[in-house]
């Protein structure tokens, strides 16, 4: 996506700010005592981005149309009595407010089409598939919360917590953006997995197509990272690391879509953490040496008993149920 396209179609987080800023400039220019300093400030703001100029032009044009309509509707058959000065000021202020309200009502419908926002959430152990109007699908894993915002110009999903798999219908005119943990992913026609960890890290695996990853904070100056099929990225406060994974490992990561957890040289500590994401009764590994033991196998995400039976048989470990916790020890 070129820089020009990024300007013409602002991100979901920026468009509202740009539009309201443009409306404020129109109000100041028409209802305030406009000065050369104001004009210089406006010129500087307009010069910052094409999106600023487009928003301002549309609001200004909407104001002119509304003003002409107001003039046409004014009574002309008899001159009105000359009001006292204090009432004139009040009437002028009231007319300005009503005119601005009309301008904003018209221009917001032109510049900022209504964003439809909906929150989707799954409980522990649940999964849900969301089908969007454009044909895209989002599959939510256990204990996940997302906010979906879409209108005629853009599509944005905020992954508040948890994990989600995206199959996106690409549309260059309506970028699909995923926001997660300070990171922004822009779809370039793809299927990808995004997970927010409890420590604040964001993991992304690309199954098909391409994804652009950059910081959601526009003040950040790090260049974007472009990911292709097979790329796995981990973004933390310390930076972004990219590795390649074979198809077999990527397929294993998506085992939860079939209700399965697939472990390949996985430590017992990591396996216990995965089971804890899907079950209210939590697994606890008592000793650090036990935590480091590695296990292979495929288990149903909610079948904790099958997992604990396996670790008993393979490693000879003890399993005790201690009132809401299942403790594994030597």
Helix (H, G, I), strand (E, B) or coil at 126: coil
**What DSSP character marks residue 124?**
T
Q: What pLDDT is recorded for position 5?
A: 36
- Range with the largest mean pLDDT of 80-84, 91-95, 107-111, 171-175: 171-175
Query: Over 90: is that where the pLDDT of 170 sits?
Result: no
Query: Over 60: is that where the pLDDT of 329 sits?
Result: yes
Our measurement of the distance from residue 186's CA atom to the centroid of its chain's CA atoms, rounded to an integer in Å, reads: 10
Q: What pLDDT is recorded for position 43?
A: 86
- pLDDT-derived band of residue 35, with 50, 70 and 90 as boundaries? confident
Measured between alpha carbons, how far is 4 from 110 in angstroms, rounded to an integer?
21
Domains of the chain: which residue ranges?
A: 3-111, 117-250, 259-329
Cβ pair 314, 295 in contact under 8 A: yes
Query: Over 70: is that where the pLDDT of 11 sits?
Result: no
Q: What pLDDT is recorded for position 300?
A: 96
Q: Which residues contact 20 (CB under 8 A, 6 or more apart)?
A: none
Closest CA to 227 of 206, 207, 241, 247: 206
Q: What pLDDT is recorded for position 239?
A: 85
Measured between alpha carbons, how far is 312 from 9 in angstroms, rounded to an integer?
57
Max CA separation in the chain (angstroms): 101
Q: What is the mean pLDDT of residues 300-327?
A: 93
**pLDDT digits 0-9 by tens, 49-78:** 888 888 778 777 776 655 555 455 444 444
- pLDDT-derived band of residue 41, with 50, 70 and 90 as boundaries? confident
CATH, domain range 117-250? 2.60.120.1440
Query: Over 70: is that where the pLDDT of 219 sits?
Result: no
Closest CA to 59 of 5, 13, 3, 105: 105
Query: Over 90: is that where the pLDDT of 86 sits?
Result: no
Measured between alpha carbons, how far is 245 from 68 in angstroms, rounded to an integer?
63
Q: What pLDDT is recorded for position 68?
A: 54
Measured between alpha carbons, how far is 20 from 23 in angstroms, rounded to an integer?
5
Stretch among 29-33, 212-216, 258-262, 282-286 having the lowest mean pLDDT: 29-33
Query: Over 60: is that where the pLDDT of 115 sits?
Result: no
Closest CA to 107 of 156, 149, 54, 143: 54
Domain 259-329 fold:
Phage tail protein beta-alpha-beta fold (3.55.50)
């Amino acid at each position: 996506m070129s820089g020009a396209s990024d300007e013409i179609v602002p991100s979901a987080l920026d468009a509202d700010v740009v539009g309201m800023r443009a409306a404020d400039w129109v109000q100041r220019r028409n209802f305030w005592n406009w000065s050369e300093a104001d004009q210089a400030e406006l010129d500087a703001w307009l010069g910052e981005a094409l999106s600023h100029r487009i928003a301002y032009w549309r609001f200004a044009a909407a104001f002119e149309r509304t003003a002409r309509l107001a003039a046409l509707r004014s009574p002309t058959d008899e001159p009105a009595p000359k009001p006292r000065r204090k009432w004139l000021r009040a009437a002028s202020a009231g007319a300005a407010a009503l005119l601005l309200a009309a301008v904003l009502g018209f221009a917001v419908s032109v510049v900022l089409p209504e964003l439809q926002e909906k929150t989707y959430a799954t409980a522990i152990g649940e999964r849900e598939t969301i089908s969007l109007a454009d044909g895209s699908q989002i599959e939510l894993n256990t204990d996940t919360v997302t906010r979906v915002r879409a209108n005629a110009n853009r599509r944005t999903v905020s992954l508040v917590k948890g994990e989600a798999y995206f199959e996106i219908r690409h549309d260059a005119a309506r970028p699909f953006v995923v926001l997660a943990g300070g990171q922004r992913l822009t779809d370039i026609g793809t299927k990808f997995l995004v997970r927010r960890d409890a420590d604040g890290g964001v993991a992304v695996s690309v199954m098909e197509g391409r994804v652009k990853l950059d910081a959601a904070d526009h003040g950040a100056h790090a260049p974007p990272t472009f990911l292709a099929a097979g790329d796995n990225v981990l973004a933390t406060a310390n930076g972004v690391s990219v590795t390649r994974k074979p198809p077999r490992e990527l397929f294993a990561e998506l085992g939860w879509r079939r209700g399965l957890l697939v472990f390949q040289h996985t430590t017992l500590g990591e396996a216990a953490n995965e089971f804890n994401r899907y079950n209210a009764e939590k697994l606890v590994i008592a000793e650090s040496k036990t935590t480091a033991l590695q296990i292979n196998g495929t288990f149903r995400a909610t079948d904790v008993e099958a997992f604990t039976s396996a670790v008993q048989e393979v490693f000879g470990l003890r399993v005790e149920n201690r009132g809401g916790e299942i403790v594994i020890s030597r």
